[in-house]
Amino acid sequence: MFSSLPRIARSFAAVVVSSLALGACADATSPTLNSGYITSAAAVASPAVLDGAMFKDFKLLYPKLSTQVPAATTRGDTTIQSFSVTPKTGKLIYFGKQSGHTIAIPANTLCDPNKNAYGPTEWMKPCILATSSITFEVRTWNDAKGEPHAEFSPNIRFNPSAPDPVRLYFADNDLSDFSRVHIPFCDSSNRCIDESITDSALTTHAAPHPKGGYWIYRTLRHFSGYNVTAF
């Protein structure tokens, strides 16, 4: 069953969440990027783990979240959408060119981007929660191999103690071998690492999609860079 397991989706799919504002801001309370952000590509990666149950409706998984399909504009091959999230209520967003992908942002998961440090050493630390609505932009496109990408901004980290974490789901209806994909974290220079190597809660999962193929998904600790890739 889809339970509290982490979820992101994409298979021969890629999610790249933008790394805007990586440098320290002039305001001492603004988020800063730790020097150990990324050092090298991971030599070891863990393949997706199968969640055997057929996927259920997102509203059954997240009954407390209101849903939104953001208005879309296009620029070349890129779909651009914006959505706002109220921290105390959260939101379920269907996004992408055909609104086939989903991000679930439950209540009380958004850390205040102006009051918390940012970087790999910070993901599991307690944070000051955001109290005001935050507007995000997501850009989606398919690369030359047909692999979907999504880029979110601004950078923000998520409350590690929230009972329901942020999860990102990508649908790949053409995927036949879920075991050959995983979701590493990549920075703006495309340097990547499999975060599940040191944090098992971030393991990539797969579940059969009702329209064929699979959902590929996992929990997020932050909006920065992600790249779902095939071995």
Lowest mean per-residue pLDDT among 46-50, 84-88, 117-121, 224-228: 224-228
Structure tokens at 49: 């783990």
Indicate the domain borders of the chain. 49-230
Confidence (pLDDT) at 157: 95
For residue 143, give the nearest of 32, 206, 209, 228 by alpha carbon: 228
Residue 163 and residue 150: Cα distance in Å, rounded? 25
Q: Give the pLDDT mean for 84-92.
A: 97
Structure tokens at 196: 């599940």
Alpha helices in 55-162 (DSSP H): 58-61
Residue 109 and residue 123: Cα distance in Å, rounded? 12
List CB contacts of 57: < 8 A, sequence separation 6 or more.
none
Residue 148 and residue 215: Cα distance in Å, rounded? 13
- Residues 145/184, Cβ–Cβ less than 8 Å: no
- Residues 69/96, Cβ–Cβ less than 8 Å: no
Q: pLDDT for 110-160, tens place per residue?
A: 999 999 999 889 999 999 999 999 999 988 877 776 666 778 889 899 999
The reply to whether CATH 2.60.220 applies to domain 49-230 is yes
AA identity, residue 226: Y
- Residues 45/231, Cβ–Cβ less than 8 Å: yes
List CB contacts of 2: < 8 A, sequence separation 6 or more.
51, 53, 55, 56, 61, 207
Structure tokens at 172: 């790949």
Confidence (pLDDT) at 159: 97
Confidence (pLDDT) at 26: 29
Helices (H) and strands (E) in the chain, counts: 1, 17
Is pLDDT of 62 > 90? yes
Percent of the chain with pLDDT over 90: 42
Confidence (pLDDT) at 193: 81
Block residue for tokens 């190597």: 197
Instruction: For the chain, give the mean pLDDT.
Output: 78
Is pLDDT of 189 > 70? yes
